[in-house]
Amino acid sequence: MSTFMPYTRLMTTAYHHTNLRASLLAEGRRLLLAEGYAHFSLRKLASVLGVSHNAPYRHFASREEFIKAIVEEDAARFDAALAAGVEGIGDAAERLYRLGDAYVFFFLDNPEVLLLFEILPGQVALRGEVLASLFSKPAPCAHREGAMDGYELLTDAAQPFAGRFPGLEKHEIALGYWAKVHGLASLLVAKRGLLPEESLRDRVRMLVRTPF
């Protein structure tokens, strides 16, 4: 007899050990990308994990609340990565560059997060659901109370550059730099072979620091 438990039994066991929420979020992220927002359901996710159809609702009131939890979890990780990237950096220019590094590296390491951030806003913006408010603010990620979020870090780092571009406001400088690093991250996630893998991070750092 096999020493491995069936997949459905493993998921049921995880549920009794209060790990179902984490399993739902991890597998739900994958399923959401595969199925798309319109076709995603908690019932389908429950079937994939081998738990009862009601089990996900013990943790999330609705499909929208579940997807909101995914977005907020990923956004928190993203904000933390940006904050860690500039920790202890006092030089103004280097702070902005380090934010760019952290931005691109995070999405290279977590391409599924970039894909979700890109596909979800357009799919929920006009629906009036709980998710819509997450994408109504001009930030690289969902806003939360508490620690400075990614957009605030970016606009704060852009402040010392205002004198170099007297015709632009601080938030406009941040917007231009955001467009640059987001575009770079998007291209590299979509076509990973654009830069040599063995020197990828070094080349990203150089590109982040170019004037164009």
CATH number for 62-208: choose from 1.10.1760, 1.10.357, 1.10.287, 1.10.3470.
1.10.357
Res 55: pLDDT:
94
CATH number of 1-60: 1.10.10
Poorest-pLDDT segment among 55-59, 107-111, 115-119: 115-119
Summarize the confidence of residues 123-142 as an average pLDDT: 47
Domain span(s) for CATH 1.10.357 in the chain: 62-208
Rounded to the nearest integer, the mean pLDDT of the chain is 80
Domain span(s) for CATH 1.10.10 in the chain: 1-60
166 vs 105, residue with greater confidence: 105
The amino acid at 159: Q
Q: Is the pLDDT of residue 147 over 80?
A: no
Nearest to 184 by CA among 200, 168, 172, 199: 200
Res 102: pLDDT:
95
Please, what sign has the CA dihedral across residues 142, 149, 203, 168? positive
Contacts of 11 (CB under 8 A, 6+ apart): 20, 23, 49, 50, 51
Percent of the chain residues past pLDDT 70, beyond the cut: 78
Poorest-pLDDT segment among 70-79, 104-113, 136-145, 191-200: 136-145
Res 126: pLDDT:
40
Contact yes or no for 57/45 (Cβ under 8 A): no
Q: How far is residue 35 from each of residues 11, 45, 125, 160, 205, measured CA to CA in Å? A: 21, 11, 19, 44, 35
Percent of the chain residues past pLDDT 90, beyond the cut: 45
User: What's the predicted TM-score (pTM) here?
Assistant: 0.78
User: In the chain, what's the furthest Cα-to-Cα distance?
Assistant: 74
